[in-house]
Amino acid sequence: MYQPGPGMYYHYPPPMLVDCSSCRTPLQLPHGARCIRCAICQAVTNIAEPRSVPPSSQPAAPSTYAPPPPPSSPSPYNHAPPGTPPHAHGRKRAVICAISYRYSRHELKGCINDAKCMRYLLINKFKFPEDSILMLTEEETDPYRIPTKYNMRMALYWLVQGCQPGDSLLFHYSGHGSRQRNYIGDEVDGYDETLCPLDFETQGMIVDDEINATIVRPLPRGVKLHAIIDACHSGTVLDLPFLCRMNRTGHYVWEDHRPASGLWKGTSGGEAISFSGCDDDQTSADTSALSKITSTGAMTYCFIQAIERGHGDTYGSIINAMRNAIRSVGGGDLGGGGAVTSLITMLLTGGSLGLGGGLRQEPQLTACEPFDVYTRPFTL
């Protein structure tokens, strides 16, 4: 069995960086891809096959993509995307992905509501520009904004492209999550956590290792990433090194989830913090029990409610308010679940769980570094 050595950073080769052929935004090319569509201007940049590159003794053929930034901008992360310059507090950018799996046996009722509510919160409360929020749902008319595995990967690459000190990035996901056996020894519980794209049955799931390598590892110093993941088995789905283990009285300790192999799961100097719907061995509910009006993800609803009710000052106040809200509904039971629950549990119930049945869901907080959750202010 292959065991990674100390100091190895990626399970996947680091993404190749090229410039968009139209707007020159730096794009991160997934391993093996021969073209990439820019999420900003929609232009397609084709990448020449290595064998088509002429020998150095011959004149260089015209490139199919824009030349690299001039020497004054040696790093792609210092090359600002087009548009107005970032304001004093940095640029804000978000990816919101919600999947209802409609017309399938996996259907969820509240995910699209989650996406709309989160977008409203980001624009009106946290002043994210509307055109800096990339929405991936089945309701989108642009085929590149349907939440397929390919489009979700591209959206995550877009999220961190060109990020600079002062930038604030956010990834919100509402949909199915699952877990699968990890055979290389870099998971404390022996499982990789996964997100389930719309086409996961044919294209497969997105594993936590890839999410970490795509949006956590590249973050340079001064850049802040928040993830809000409303899915089953999502506790450590960003593979961040530390988990805040909090009891019902609000006392907590930071658990060290760094792999014994020495594999680095943190950032390149930036800050990454994730709120997730439940622990790795729990399921997250899609329910109308909280809003009393329509179905939502329990975690997303409680996160937004915590902000709107004035509990958003610190990370500790948010996570406690979310947990208290979930416990207040049916004594903390929103559906069915337990230590051996998987995606199948949600599928068998149609994905929409109401009161009664026994699901125990406790939102989790993970981070790239430990901190005092009751003194650090929460800001997006």
Residues 31-70 as b or e (16 or more Cβ within 10 Å = b): eeeeebbbbbeebebebeeeeeeeeeeeeeeebebbebbe
100 touches 54 (CB < 8 A): no
334 touches 287 (CB < 8 A): yes
Q: Which residues contact 148 (CB under 8 A, 6 or more apart)?
A: 197, 198, 199, 203
Residue 20 C-beta-side C-alpha neighbours within 13 Å: 21
d(CA 300, CA 287): 11
Among residues 163, 196, 232, 368, which one is catalytic? 232
Which residues are registered as beta bridge partners of 122? none
Residues 145-183 as b or e (16 or more Cβ within 10 Å = b): bbbbbbbbbbbbbbbbbbbbeebbbbbbbbbbbbbeebe
d(CA 337, CA 14): 37
Among residues 176, 233, 257, 311, which one is catalytic? 176
- Told to judge if 233 belongs to the known catalytic residues of this protein, a careful annotator would answer no
Q: Residue 23: exposed, middle, or buried by beta-carbon count in 10 A (0-12, 13-18, 19+)?
A: middle
> How many CB atoms are located within 10 Å of the residue 314 CB?
16
Q: Which of 296, 285, 283, 277 is nearest to 238 (CA)?
A: 277
CA distances from 261 to 2, 9, 187, 258 (A): 11, 11, 10, 8
Q: Which two tokens stand for residue 44?
A: 């397609």
- Told to judge if 163 belongs to the known catalytic residues of this protein, a careful annotator would answer no
Q: Which two tokens stand for residue 301?
A: 């609803």
d(CA 279, CA 287): 18
**Catalytic residue numbers?**
176, 232
